[in-house]
Amino acid sequence: MKKPAIAIIPICLALGALLCPTTSAKATQANEKAVIEKNIRASIGWALTKDRPLLESVLAHDDHLFMFQPDSKSTIAGWDQFAKQFDFWMDPRFKATKFDIRELRINLSRSGDIAWWSCILDDLGEWDGKPIGWKDTRWTGVIEKRDRKWIIVQMHFSFAADLVRAEAAAVKK
């Protein structure tokens, strides 16, 4: 009777290894998330030094690139449309001054080649010496692993309506 029980132990161990993530898999996932976070931050932080090649290295250069901006006029569909914004960003009158990313959550797909994130973003700058930018912006996105490199394919920026109304009411007072 004891022999069949002993034979089951290796089977259970093998099954456990297949069904439970290993320490190595968790480390790999943590490493992937670190690279993804670095690219997310680069997609905003590049502007502090106007490192255009950095931004270009983390975005899809095709029609899959898609962005919803907070206003109703500047939805971006494709790299070609996005690249037109470089005229503004590279203009000497534009200066990025600070960015902050809070409450960043990154989720990896089971396949490990797609991830999505959400966070709160402050993206501040100046245009011709006057302050511009977004504060407390809700930012979500999708990033895809292509040829072993994480590339952003979709982003959505928005503002919480209740905060916008409260800010507008405060300005009227």
Q: Please spell the DSSP secondary structure of 15-82, one letter per residue.
A: HHHHHS--HHHHHHHHHHHHHHHHHHHHHHHGGGTT-HHHHHHHB--STT-EEE-SSSS--EESHHHH
Cβ contacts of 132 within 8 Å, gap of 6 or more: 124, 125, 126
pTM: 0.79
Number of domains in the chain: 1
**pLDDT of the chain along its 173 residues, tens only?**
555 555 555 554 455 555 555 568 788 888 999 999 999 999 999 999 999 999 999 999 999 999 998 887 778 899 999 999 999 999 999 999 999 999 999 999 999 999 999 999 999 999 999 999 999 999 999 999 999 999 999 999 998 866 655 666 677 77
CA angle, 26 then 30 then 33, to 5°: 140
Rounded CA separation 110/116 (Å): 12
CATH of the domain at 13: 3.10.450.50
Look up the domain containing 85 and give its range. 2-172
